Amino acid sequence: QPNSPEARDIRYHLHAYTNARKHQETGPLVIEKGDGIYVEDAAGNRYIEAMAGLWSVAVGFSEPRLVEAAARQMAKLPFYHSFSSRSHSPLIDLAEKLVLMAPVPMSKAFFTNSGSEANDTAIKMIWYRSNALGQPQRKKIIARKRGYHGVTIAAASLTGLPSNQTSFDLPIANVLHTASPHYWREALPGESEEQFSTRLAGELEQLILAEGPETVAAFFGEPVMGAGGVVVPPAGYWEKIQAVLAKYDILLVADEVICGFGRTGAMFGCQTYGIKPDIIVMSKQISSSYLPISALLINDRVFEPIADESNRIGTFGHGFTGGGHPVAAAVALENLNLIEERDLVGNARRVGAHMQERLRRLAVHPLVGEVRGVGLIAAIELVADKAAKAPWGSVGALGGLVNGLLQDNGVITRNMGDALAFCPPLIITEKQVDLLMQAVEQALDAAAKQVAK
Ligand code: PLP
């Protein structure tokens, strides 16, 4: 139908992260409504949203208290900003809450609108700090292959995925990448997790020495990599990496955009893995993505030189019009209150353990090469040949097939290549996990039949 939402979407809308040519033929999935862990499309089909949208809707898709918090703030003060010492109550309350709930001592919160902006902001703070300390040569930033930090010019440079870099002439200067901690894919034959972690920490140290330690300012990492395929750190990884960073006085930025606020079964991924960052980047579950907001927490090592420098030159010249928007801040505050009141972190730990156990039972399936995850985030790595860890035709073909079969059966997941991710809202129950797992088992069996043809 020429004027259906689908037809108009094809006519007028260029989609994020979508094959633009293919979309012209296949069209969109138009989601109209949300209800708990479910969303409903225009035709009335219900789906378990097993990705919490984009790893982000902690409290589910129909939380009235967030709607009320937004409406109250919208009526009282729909916009204000934080430039030139201006402030407003929701932002003061949120800054205080975040600093007090931080997993390590933090000094200040700074507000932005997206994970990408927050990571760009972190880079600018780090460069500004190096200048303030009289170390203008200290500008290099090390991130990791398979890491995901966003899509703006600097954040996309940190992101260690080829699709974010080739065709965009990225990374920018001063951004380097070290190995990803993907044990199943990248360990040497016979190498234990500890040995793999030791080798990766050694490679990081070699990179730092080759570049000159006095030129390296910071290391960025997600506690658990999300968009790179849910890569859980191998045993000893963060401890060994942090020892290298400490040796050369290099700042550590923890990108908690996915892990933050309960995903790993602790409030922060840093707590799950004993990470002690100087900067924490947060977004997504901070507001359950009901409105866009993101934040950075910085410690005194970062704040003090920034304060000194802005005293000298007059100002820290950085900020976004909508950064820390009062309505988004009010929603974030209420969302964090809900996460605490309903013990959604505990739920992520308990129901997460159940989900991990159910997923691990799939490891015997002929198409499942590996199951990995922690708390309520996981992936199964799909293979056509287990022993060779080989894909079915091209990489992503099997992931796409299973993802499509699941969608046809009322489950929304996401395949990053052949890694099929699960990251449901933190409110999910054990019974709902069982429903999800039934659908996954059916989709895998149906896919196995097609692969066998
Ligand atoms: N950092 C991580 C770990 C992410 O997963 C994402 C988005 O998925 C980002 C940063 C970028 O956030 P945004 O899409 O809000 O710019």
- ipTM for the predicted complex comes to 0.99
User: Domain boundary residue among 290, 323, 341?
Assistant: 341
Q: Are residues 276 and 347 in the same domain?
A: no
Residue 271 lies in a domain: yes
17 inside domain: no
Ligand 1 geometric centre to CA of 22 (Å):
25
How far, in Å, from the CA of 146 to the mean position of ligand 1?
A: 13
Q: What is the model's pLDDT at position 187? A: 97
173 and 108 in one domain?
yes
Verify that 215 and 268 share a domain, yes or no: yes
Ligand 1, atom 7: closest residue by C-alpha: 150
Strand order in the sheet with 377-382: 368-374, 377-382, 419-422, 414-416
Report the alpha-carbon distance of residue 44 to residue 32 in Å, rounded: 9
Query: Do 227 and 310 share a structural domain?
Result: yes
Domain boundary among 341, 365, 387: 341
Q: Hey, whose CA ends up nearest to atom 3 of ligand 1? A: 257
Q: How many residues does the chain have?
A: 453
Residues 378 and 421 reside in one and the same domain: yes
- The average confidence (pLDDT) of the chain is 97
Kindly state the helix (H) or strand (E) to which residue 344 belongs, with its residue range. Answer: helix 344-361
CATH code of the domain covering residue 210: 3.40.640.10
pLDDT of residue 313: 86
| CA–CA dist 254, 275 (Å, integer) | 8
Q: Give the model's pLDDT for residue 232.
A: 98
Structural domain total, the chain: 2
- Cβ neighbour number for residue 442 with a 10 Å cutoff: 14
Report if residue 381 sits inside a domain: yes
Domain that holds residue 276: 66-341
Question: 22 burial class (0-12, 13-18, 19+ CB within 10 angstroms)?
Answer: exposed
The answer on 393 and 287 residing in a single domain is no
**Distance (Å) from CA 153 to ligand 1 centroid:** 13
- Residue 413 lies inside a defined structural domain of this protein: yes
Residue at 26 is within a domain = no
- Which of 151, 180, 283, 291 has the most ligand 1 atoms within 8 A of CB, as the residue to mutate? 283
Q: What pLDDT is stored for residue 1 in this prediction?
A: 85
CA 380 – CA 373 distance, rounded (Å):
9
Cα 76 to ligand 1 centroid, rounded to whole Å: 30
Q: Which of 282, 307, 341 is the last residue of a domain?
A: 341
- Protein residue closest via CA to atom 10 of ligand 1: 149
Nearest CA to ligand 1 atom 12: 115
Q: What angle do CA 114, 116, 117 make, to 5 degrees?
A: 70
Instruction: State which residues of the chain have pLDDT below 50.
Output: none
CATH number (domain holding residue 433): 3.90.1150.10
Ligand 1 surroundings by CB, under 6 angstroms: 54, 114-116, 119, 148-150, 222, 226-227, 255, 257-258, 283
User: Are 442 and 424 contained in the same domain?
Assistant: yes
Residues 324 and 443 both lie in one domain: no
The reported pLDDT for the residue numbered 316 is 93
For residues 388 and 307, state if they share a domain: no
Tell how far the Cα of 149 is from the centroid of ligand 1, in angstroms: 5
Question: Does residue 300 share a domain with residue 229?
Answer: yes
> Is residue 92 included in any domain, yes or no?
yes
d(CA 243, CA 137): 23
Could you tell me the two tokens for 356? 């991990």
Flag whether 30 is in a domain: no
